[in-house]
Structure 1
Amino acid sequence: MLDLINDWLWGKILIAVLLVVGVYFTVGTRFVQFRYFRRMFGILTSGQAFAGDQHGHLSSFQALMLSVAGRVGGGNIAGVAVAITLGGPGAVFWMWVVGLLGMATSFVECTLAQAYKQSEPDGTYRGGPAYYIARGMGPSWRWLAWLYSLLLLVTFGFGFNALQSYAVATSVNDAFGVPVLASAIVLALVVAAIVFGGVRRIASVADFLVPIMALGYITVALVVVVLNITELPGVLALIVKSALGLEPALAGGVGAAIMMGVKRGLFSNEAGLGSAPNVAAVAYVPHPASQGIIQAFSVFIDTLIICSCTAFIVLVGGVYQPGSAGEWAGVPLTQASLASHVGEWGRMFVSVALMLFAFTTMVYNYYLGENSLSYFGVRRWGLVLYRLLVIALCGWGATTDLATAFAFADVTMGLLALVNLVALIKLFPVARALLQDYDAQAKRSREEPVFDAQRFEQWGVDPRAWTLEEDEAKRLARLKGAQAAQ
């Protein structure tokens, strides 16, 4: 029954809806992901991106690393290999298309998360779909915010954390022969040390691990590309021809290529699911659209860079044969392909990369569950109980076959996406107004635009969550003065 529901939900309904919404947001924002692509790097290289403000809030770079930690996971290694095996090289092309469209969707949901965030007593922020549903859509929609929070808690806080611990333990066992039980105990202890430190410690772990694991994987992929540079044009041509049905050996497989590329891309980058906005809201930024632009970049990192690395490792190797599934699939295909390029240590490297990707995703999943409990008003003992339960699940999940749990979590994640997409479509006028405000300021000055929350109070934005730094408050005052003079 769960497989049947998943087949309809993910195979027919959600893929179509997410693609249509991605196109709608791309056109509606006037291709924001392309217009501000250069500015993504400009925001990240600014001093504000790497340092929290005087109130102790997280930086936009830390929020970016948190979201990348969640997006980059087993799907970037195993999922891409499965997509190529079942859909052919053309699946990579459609994965890229989904990634580019997903950047616009991510911009909208993360901009809204910033606009509707709320300030916490400990100096941090909380936000996400539950918050922009309740505040942006009005009291009559509060039930939808509660439903979203419940689905988020069940899916990420509990279900996917157990599944990720299973992936970590089995990966370590395959690569190094470490008993699964030993991995379960160590994993539970490490997760405990992190989650009891709160969101700042979670962010600091992601801030440290994510660049290392991402850059390490990218570097190895670049080495593979350089070693096979003469084959690269042929591989790119194969990807495009296969995607469009122009490759004779793969003709008739266009439908499979589109289906697998779209599905794997959506699973990997999570654009539209509403998970990333929960961490996008925690950063201090001078304007909501600033974080929207940065979070769009995290989709680019996940799908256009990390997934492409796996694709090139597989396609320039001699293990995968186009037109035939062969004896390899998933992680083994990636491991065998890398080993064919750099030697047997490549298998171990893939296992370590998968372990790190899955571990950072676990920390990210925990935070999503905590954010749900915070929305429900749970404090102290409730959070302690949740942390203990997550730690126990990390240990239990590593030693248990979780096929049924995985199927159930897929259903709840699909419902989660539908709830979030309803909110995004209804609140898109707010996101567009925020972008127009950002566009107008960016056109007048090279300085980073500053948000005047009082102008958006009619949309349900809380100005108390927008305490600006002194220099940005002065810039806003100058902006208001210039507007008054005009």
Structure 2
Amino acid sequence: MLFNRLTPIDSIPAYLKAFSKWIWDWPLLILLIGGGIFFLIYSRFTPFLYFKHALQILGGKYDRDDAPGQLSHFQALSSALAATVGMGNISGVAIAIVSGGPGAIFWMWISALMGMATKFYTCSLAVMYRSKTSQGTVLSGPMYVITEGLGAKWKPLAILFALAGLIGTLPAFTANQLTQTMVDVMRWDESVKLYIGISLAIVASVVILGGIQRIGLVASKLVPLMVILYFITVLMVLIIQIEKIPAMFSSIFTDAFSGHAVAGGILGSLIKTGVKRAAFSNEAGIGTAPMMHGTAKTKEPIREGLVAMIGPAIDTLLVCTLTALAILCTGAWQQGGDNGITVTLTAFNETLPYNIGNIVVFVMVLVFGFSTLFSYSYYGISCLGFLLTPRYGKYYNYIYILSIVVAAVVKLEVAIDLIDSAFALMAIPTVISGLLLANKVNKRAKTYFERHIKKAGD
């Protein structure tokens, strides 16, 4: 009845919210969680057994300049992390805690562990089944995994992914929260959001119009620096609040199974909140990371799969946990408000003296936010290039830049519902293709480990 009282334009947010709630119900969550459990068991815990080898690959031990691809292993992971270690880790975690309570963090952790196995499979497949342009540029992502690995009859599934990807890779959430941070920290009037959006679009265009090599170069410099700085800052907060840490961890585990923090006391709602926010944070099973990892310079798909599995460990198990601990130990999540970035700002300001919290969060949000803006544009280019032809993919950049301005002024709920809905649609083709082709990865992994690991003694 609600929709009947709204104009067509006014009803869009309501329709988005209803669709997001509907699609992120148990069938999709079972696909993501069940798929992650399957990958974890089917891999025989490969992501954890060969973590040391994955770090050696990441460190450049196996880099070959003459290998096909555009980015080194380190640049590919940095670029993928630049997209995931972003606003979802600062603002998204706060939203998860406010809406689901401390227990939501536990389910984010569980989702991340399964996500490591999921990324191992989906990103190995992205290298196994990548394509090339006539100029030799590598094309990758779930849409190519589906068409090259499963065959032409599965192409509708690939088209579904690409269409959803055009929306899911828009910077709606990131640009919105970047703008909100500037307004909160600088105490500007809401009317300046449009001008902030225009400024963000100009800065982002300098990098993204330079192509994937420039994105990879910038990301490889930004990501390590921002993770280290963020770690140091949160460590300061935790040291100051050290007496609250035992009770804080206790609340995460007890609330994870009680569900008391969720309206109605329903445990299922808590699990949904944790898994949804983890999916937004590390994107395991969504399909964006394979588009970046598939461009890695390597002839060995398993190597990039091993590198990709490091992503959820850094993104969710480390960075998201840092944010969660800061918010929980200060009690900022209990003070109300549904704007994630405002909650995080409150947590830092209540602990750090002289308004250091404002400065730190402002700098971190700028770095995290811009790194996400830079990387996400490439995903949209890949999707449009698949739907049309690769040479037309670059025109997505102009849609992307314009959307930064629009996202700066829309309501947060609209941005969240839009991206959540698109991510859900992207996850369906990604996980299904991964499950159907998992045996191909296992066969490739067996021969890889026999040839490279056992002989080298790694």
Q: Scaled by the length of structure 1, what TM-score is found?
A: 0.83
Deviates further, 84-93 or 57-66 = 84-93
1:421-436 residue pairs with structure 2 within 5 A? Answer: 421-436=431-446
Q: 1:327 to 1:126 in 2, by over 3 A?
A: same
The alpha-carbon deviation at position 425 of structure 1 amounts to: 1.4
Of residues 224-233 and 428-437 in structure 1, the stretch that sits farther from structure 2 once superposed is 224-233
Structure number, greater radius of gyration: 1
State how far apart, in whole Å, the 2-side matches of 1:426 and 1:55 are.
26
2:351 corresponding residue in structure 1: 341
1:382-421 equivalences under 5 Å are 382-383=392-393, 385-401=395-411, 404=414, 406-421=416-431
Do 1:314 and 1:337's aligned partners in 2 also have CA atoms closer than 8 Å? yes
Q: Counterpart of 2:57?
A: 43
The separation in 2 between residues aligned to 1:235 and 1:405, in whole angstroms, is: 30
Alpha-carbon distance, 1:113 to partner = 0.1
Task: List aligned pairs for 1:436-475, cutoff 5 A.
Answer: 436-446=446-456
Shift of 1:311: 1.1
CA distance in structure 2 between the partners assigned to 1:438 and 1:175 by the alignment: 51
1:346/1:129 CA distance change after superposition, 3 Å: same
Instruction: After superposition, give the CA deviation of every residue in 1:105-128 in whole Å (9 maximum; x if it has no partner).
Output: 111100000111234455542211
| Alignment CA distance shift 1:316-1:119 (3 Å) | same
Q: CA deviation at 1:206?
A: 1.2
CA contact (8 A) 1:92 1:261 kept: yes
**Equivalent residues in 2 for 1:6-405 (5 A)?**
6-48=20-62, 52-53=65-66, 57-120=70-133, 124-156=137-169, 160-177=170-187, 179-245=192-258, 254-320=267-333, 325-329=334-338, 330-343=340-353, 344-380=355-391, 382-383=392-393, 385-401=395-411, 404=414
Read off the aligned partner of 1:326 and give its amino acid letter: Q
In 1, the alpha carbon distance for the partners of 2:173 and 2:100 equals 25
**CA distance change for structure 1 residues 61 and 399 in 2, over 3 Å: closer, same or farther?**
same
Cα distance in 1 for partners of 2:381, 2:262 equals 50
**Could you list the runs of 5+ residues in structure 2 that have no partner in the other structure?**
1-14
Q: Using a 3 Å threshold, how does the CA distance of structure 1 residues 394 and 4 change in structure 2: closer, same or farther?
A: closer
Cα distance in structure 2, aligned partners of 1:402 and 1:236: 29
Going from structure 1 to structure 2, the CA distance change for 1:262 and 1:387 (only over 3 Å counts) comes to: closer
| Residue 138 of structure 1, CA deviation | 1.2
Q: 1:313 to 1:447 in 2, by over 3 A?
A: same
Distance 1:18 1:168 in 2: 29
Letter of the 1:339 partner, please give it. N
> Contact 2:68–2:299 (CA<8 Å) still a contact in 1?
no
* % identity of equivalent residues: 32
Q: CA contact under 8 A between 2:101 and 2:261: conserved in structure 1?
A: no
- How far did residue 289 of structure 1 move? 0.9
Q: 1:261 to 1:384 in 2, by over 3 A?
A: closer
AA aligned opposite 2:20? N
Equivalent-residue separation in structure 2 for 1:249 and 1:70 (angstroms): 29
Q: Distance in 2 between matches of 1:250 and 1:181?
A: 35
Aligned-pair CA distance for 1:32: 1.7
CA separation of 1:14/1:239 partners in 2, compared to 1, >3 Å: closer, same or farther? same
Distance in 2, matches of 1:246 and 1:393, equals 37
Counterpart contact for 2:69–2:297, Cα < 8 Å: no
In the alignment of these two chains, the number of paired residues is 439
Contact 2:77/2:293 (8 A) holds in 1: yes
Q: Kindly state the Cα deviation for residue 254 of structure 1 after the two structures are TM-superposed.
A: 4.2
Q: Using the alignment, how far apart are the partners of 1:161 and 1:357 within structure 2?
A: 13
Q: Offset of 1:25 from its aligned partner?
A: 0.6
Structure 1 residue 174, shift from structure 2 partner? 2.0
TM-fit CA distance, 1:205: 1.6
The Cα offsets for residues 152-191 of structure 1, whole Å up to 9 and x where unpaired, read as: 12331xxx32443232223222222563233223222222
Over 3 Å counting, the alpha-carbon distance change for 1:355 and 1:33 in structure 2 is same
Q: Secondary structure at the match of 2:389?
A: coil
Whether contact under 8 Å (1:241, 1:247) holds in the other structure is no
- Distance, in Å, in 1 between the alignment partners of 2:398 and 2:381 is 12
Residue aligning to 2:3: none
Tell me how far 1:275 sits from its aligned partner.
0.9
TM-score by length of 2: 0.87
User: Using a 3 Å threshold, how does the CA distance of structure 1 residues 185 and 250 change in structure 2: closer, same or farther?
Assistant: closer
Aligned residues: CA RMSD: 2.8
8 Å contact 2:69–2:138 — kept in the other structure? no
The one-letter amino acid of 1:432's match is: N
